[in-house]
Amino acid sequence: MRDLDGRGLPGVFVLTTEFEGAFALQNQALGFAGAKVFVPHPVQNRTTAELHQMADEAFAAITEALAR
């Protein structure tokens, strides 16, 4: 994502809430404050309908982060 950002291509990390701490530490270590959107954890046991709902709910936050 840092490489894409450097090329002027916006990107957004989409992670589950389980990885908030690890994401913050990684950003600090790299010196890169990447755009992010967190979704509920876990995702692996969700139905297709539940995943679609999660995506719908995160869509506005993702597009907003891309526009920044």
Per-residue model confidence as pLDDT tens digits over 22-48: 999 999 999 998 899 999 999 999 999
Are the beta carbons of 62 and 14 closer than 8 angstroms? yes
Q: Mean of the pLDDT values across residues 1-19?
A: 94
Return the percentage of the chain with pLDDT > 70, whole number. Answer: 100
The pLDDT of residue 64 is 96
The pTM of the full predicted model, rounded to 2 decimals, is: 0.86
Report the alpha-carbon distance of residue 42 to residue 16 in Å, rounded.
7
CA distances from 30 to 19, 24, 58, 65 (A): 16, 10, 26, 20
Domain that residue 6 falls in: 2-67
Tell me the pLDDT band of 53, cut-offs 50, 70 and 90: very high
Domain count, the chain: 1
The pLDDT of residue 68 is 85
